[in-house]
Chains A and B, each alone.
Chain A
Amino acid sequence: MPEKTDFYRRLNIGTGASEEAIKKAYRLAVKKAHPDINKNEGATQLFLDIQEAYQVLSNPSQKDNYDSGRDPGGSTPNILTHIEYSQNALVELDESQVIYALVDILATEETQDKSNLPMNISLVVDNSTSMAGARLDMLKVAIKEIIQDLGEDDKVSLISFNDFAKVLLPSQSQPPIRQIESSVNDFFAEGGTEIYQGLETAYNEITKSMTRNYVNHIILITDGHTYGDEDSCLSLARMAAEEDIGISGMGIGIEWNDAFVDQLCALTGGQSQFVQDPKTIKDFLGQIITSLKQSDTRRVTLDMLPAPEVKVLSAFRVLPEALPLPLQDTYSLGILKKDTPHRILFEFLIDPIPGKLDRAIIASGEFTLKRTGKDLTIPFTLERKLVSDPEQLEPPIPEVIRAISHLAFYRLQEKAQHDVAVGNPGAAYQRLMNLSSHLMAKGEDALAKIAMNEAQYIKSHNNFSPTGKKELKYGTIHLMLPEKT
């Protein structure tokens, strides 16, 4: 047991320091002690000491224990974090190297709130001309059922948009059936697709009845490209993320802008779905709602601060729903489900490492959980020991290889899209053939077949087939999900 003032001394503050002061002192201390800046002997140990002190002092229950002289205990009993790397060590190299880390956070049984948090959702439905027919009909049925199934505390609003937005059902709990019917019947397909109009209206409806105890979520349903307002949509998404509002997207058919909707959802920790057959609209919508219902903690964010010699090359959310994440300092991961972890695959590029170091810090990170009660921060450090010989490296656990291989598949189809876009269908053909054979080797026969058909199509048409591009993209994304048993 360390001396009582020890942890405070490590951060260079007094024992009465406030939470905010502790955080500030930690940031300052870490900057000074970071082994990449502080080249003095023992800097790494100093850095780790500071980390240890902050991990305890930043956690209210551990801090209490520590202050009263008890063992602070491990990490927060409720929440587990876990990190797996692609290698057991980094190599002393005079050239750059890459390492991957799978970062997990999981809410364990006893931390869960007794009852589910109520939802505050807004359904934003594209009713541009192209939605006419089966799409809108199936959607009407699905929405009616979804709204009727909501609990008595849940709030819901319904918004339609084309060139402008219209509130069909203002935010409320358990709207009368007749009102649901009439609002759904107000859907009339006409005009273009201006997503920002719809999103902004939904955002206003949500914030109207927003309290801290709700799971706030916008569900966007569209089948078209939005024109010219993508940037405003993305800044609205960033603002929504700040205020604990998630956005999920459902793209129907093949015309919608998947890259844009993915980004919109990734920014807020939502999910993005590709619906090929209007009949499955209901299932997908139900799936989104079900996952919202299971939320324990409203929102998790992850800060990732790479060391000065390290660059984050990519971030990919593996769980609960796979989606590439735009690179940011703070990642909004959305709600934390009761039984599934959040898992992010990070890819780091590390500058040449001179010899003589024992360990290298890759990045420092921090999960923040916005809970019904108090926010909770869980800091962690990504670091690896150094070896001089690559032969000393040990392979990672299969789960890591699996995640990275799926990332590789996702990138192959991305590159094939790029090949076609720059007028090199031959390269796209070869790439999809490779993808097909790798998928076959992993036993993903159905997707392998899609990739192969797509390759053949490209060979004769010099372009992707109408459905193939999205089928392949979302097919490779969905590989990331845990193996079906």
Chain B
Amino acid sequence: MITCKVCGNQEFHGVLFCGECGSQLAFAPDQKVDTLVYPNQIRGLNVDISNTIPKKLLEERDFILYYAESEEALDLPVQNEFSIGRLVEGQVIAPDVDLNKYEAYHLGVSRLHATIRIDPQQNKVFVIDQGSANGTFVNGYEIPANSEVPLNHGDVLTLGKFSLKVILPSEL
């Protein structure tokens, strides 16, 4: 059997499209991440990032999350997998990225909300919702918990009500 990378559904070898979510399973074109592409009307957040993101960051990083409200890029650790959430006193597992300074609590971000995984070989980035209370959304569409959903350049990633713009400097 083969496993759909988007929804985890199992299909027979030779099946070309996932029967559950419709994603292409084999022979997909390589140059672009073949994934959920969303209607333009809710893409939104078309901001000019040339002045607000340090050039150095764009040169050094594969992946940037940009918060349009405060016009800044989040401070992300330099590693290929990290969790995002909000740190609460006494919490056993702390998230790698703490969003407390952005009023995360009021925006419905869970303590361990989501995980980002970067695959530098394939130049792909995935988000995994960790069973958050208020859900994770890509371009306004709720994604299922505990499964990898690819992120494209320009996508809007929303944790609860906290919206971030996905920037892949390689695509700029």
Contact = CB atoms under 8 A, between A and B. Distances in A.
Interface in A93-108: 93, 95-100
A440 interface: yes
Interface stretch (A157-165, A315-323, A403-411): A403-411
Interface in A205-251: none
B128 to A, nearest CB: 17
Contacts of B18: 408
A435 B23 CA distance: 9
A401 B14 contact: no
B27 A396 contact: yes
Interface string B1-28: 1000000000111111111111110110
A57 B24 CA distance: 43
Contacts of B37: 437-438, 440-441
Given A395-B27, A440-B39, A434 B21 contact: yes
Given A87-B14, A97-B14, A430-B144, A415 B19 contact: yes
B22 A98 contact: no
A401 B16 contact: yes
Interface string A344-355: 000001000000
Interface residues of A, number: 37
Interface in A432-485: 433-438, 440-441, 448-449, 452
A390 B15 CA distance: 13
A56 to B, nearest CB: 33
A449 B41 CA distance: 11
A408 B22 contact: yes
B94 interface: no
Interface in B137-156: 141-142, 144
Contacts, number: 74
Contact of A86 (B14, B19, B21): B14
A437 B36 CA distance: 6
B166 to A, nearest CB: 16
Interface string B81-114: 0000000000000000000000000000000000
Given A95-B1, A430-B144, A435-B22, A404 B12 contact: no
A430 B22 CA distance: 11
A96 B12 contact: yes
A433 B141 contact: yes
A86 B16 contact: yes
A33 interface: no
A401 B15 CA distance: 11
Contacts of B16: 86, 100, 401, 404-405, 408
Q: Give chain B's interface residue range (CB within 8 Å of chain A).
A: 20 to 34
Nearest to A433: B141
A63 interface: no
A interface, over-half SS: helix
A348 to B, nearest CB: 9
A98 B144 CA distance: 27
Nearest to A436: B39
A409 B141 CA distance: 19
A52 to B, nearest CB: 28
Given A396-B27, A431-B21, A435-B22, A93 B13 contact: yes
A396 B18 CA distance: 17
Contacts of B13: 91, 93, 95-98, 390
Nearest to B144: A430
Contacts of B142: 430
Nearest to A313: B12
Contacts of A189: none
B22 A412 contact: yes
Contacts of A433: 141
A404 B18 CA distance: 11
Given A440-B39, A448-B39, A98 B27 contact: no
B7 to A, nearest CB: 8
Contacts of A408: 16-19, 22
Contacts of B20: 415, 431
Contacts of B39: 436-437, 440, 448-449, 452
Nearest to B11: A98
Contacts of A440: 37-39
Interface of A: 86-87, 90-91, 93, 95-100, 349, 390, 395-396, 401, 404-405, 407-409, 411-412, 415, 430-431, 433-438, 440-441, 448-449, 452
Closest 7 CB pairs of A and B: A408-B17, A395-B27, A98-B14, A97-B13, A441-B37, A98-B12, A97-B14
